[in-house]
Amino acid sequence: MIAEHPPASVPDFAALRHCWHPVAYTHAVKDTPHHTRLLGEDLVIWRDSGGTPHALRDLCIHRGTALSLGRVVGDRIMCPYHGWQYGSDGVCTHIPQLEDPTKVPGKARVDAFATQERYGHIWVALETPARYDLPDIPELDDPDWVVVQAGPYAWNADASRQLENFTDFGHFPWVHPGLLGDPERPVVPDYSVTIDDHILRYDIVRPEAPNSDDFPVFGNETTEAPTRRSRYQLHLPYTILLRLGWGGEKGMVYFFASQPVDEDHCAGYVTIARNYDREQPASVLQDFEDTIFNQDQVVVESQRPERVPFDLAAEMHMKFDAVAINYRKAMREQGLAKRPA
């Protein structure tokens, strides 16, 4: 007789609505409305006349047209179909077909969502209060650090799979040989993970690809086999802050955030800051990240189930998978992943 397994825990969208998620790079939203999706909701992101970004449900209350096809008029967004105008709070304030266009019925409104702009991203929380603050990244506000943005990398995968892939040490030499790892040195060194509320912390000194001269190697410039000294903070649900070469003169920060578009789509934003090689064109790092993310995409899109199964009985875990083990545990403990009812 075949044992019945209960369905695995999956990301809980109701809980995730209370978290901040990236929905666009700042530079991607200019004067015209911008469509995106978050946790299965279609959103329109737009800027008022002062440049402040706002997020509304991308669905006009009148006939269900996408507001993102409309345009911004002063501090309001106007639907393309009949010209109704909505303020940043989602309230319709202007119906041009009326004798008095300001005599708007009270139910003429669309949902408005909390929005903030920080670290070069626009962030949205679908429900307030949002549970966690964004991480502190003083380097991104420091003029001595040069910032490069790569992506967003839109994958046919859940954000949880993309997040785990970014910090999965075992795959580097296999998926990125010569770029992020050395196939001659596949052993993952010991490291340990601590869980501090919604933040996982871990440091690792791991083998790095040989000859990665245009990609700096920190820690032991004197030995033949390069290593990379990495200090991680994984902020639930989908954000990673990685500092390379911390404590030394040269520093590099990776800030990775994945947008949970819906159950099987995500978009990964990679922000890199460093306080050296300031003259290097941004395209060098962007091309490198494009290569890495393209190599990962094929593998991650093949993973089944599409969403990380958050119970430890699902899949097989080794000691060197400590990040994934603790990520799954913390997501369940924080109520961000649950068994479907």
Q: Which residues bind ligand FES (CB under 6 A)?
A: 60, 62-63, 65, 79, 81-82, 84
The entry of ligand FES, Co ion, none near residue 296 (CB within 5 to 8 angstroms by kind) is Co ion
Output 69 or 140, the one with its CB closest to ligand FES. 69
Going through the chain in order, the beta strands assigned E by DSSP cover 10-11, 21-25, 34-38, 41-47, 53-57, 71-73, 76-78, 85-86, 92-94, 112-118, 121-125, 146-155, 194-196, 199-207, 227-235, 239-244, 252-262, 265-274, 337-338
The entry of Co ion, ligand FES, none near residue 60 (CB within 5 to 8 angstroms by kind) is ligand FES
CB of 92 to ligand FES, least distance (A): 9
CB of 53 to ligand FES, least distance (A): 21
CB of 88 to ligand FES, least distance (A): 17
The entry of ligand FES, Co ion, none near residue 303 (CB within 5 to 8 angstroms by kind) is none
CB of 68 to ligand FES, least distance (A): 12
Phi, psi for residue 164 in degrees, rounded to 5:
-60, -40
Tell me the CA distances in angstroms from 332 to 41, 189, 222, one per residue in order.
23, 27, 43
- The C-alpha atoms of residue 167 and residue 80 are separated, in whole angstroms, by 43
The entry of ligand FES, Co ion, none near residue 79 (CB within 5 to 8 angstroms by kind) is ligand FES
Output 64 or 143, the one with its CB closest to ligand FES. 64
What SS3 state is found at 320? helix
**Which among 45, 246, 67, 239 has a CA at the least distance from the CA of 159?**
239
CB of 182 to Co ion, least distance (A): 14
Output 146 or 299, the one with its CB closest to Co ion. 299
Output 82 or 339, the one with its CB closest to ligand FES. 82
The entry of ligand FES, Co ion, none near residue 242 (CB within 5 to 8 angstroms by kind) is none
**Which among 175, 157, 167 has a CA at the least distance from the CA of 305?**
157
Output 70 or 151, the one with its CB closest to Co ion. 151
Output 69 or 205, the one with its CB closest to ligand FES. 69
The entry of ligand FES, Co ion, none near residue 250 (CB within 5 to 8 angstroms by kind) is none
Q: Are 173 and 167 in contact (CB under 8 A)?
A: no
- What residues have CB less than 8 Å from 209, skipping those under 6 apart? 176, 177, 178, 179, 180, 181, 182, 215, 226
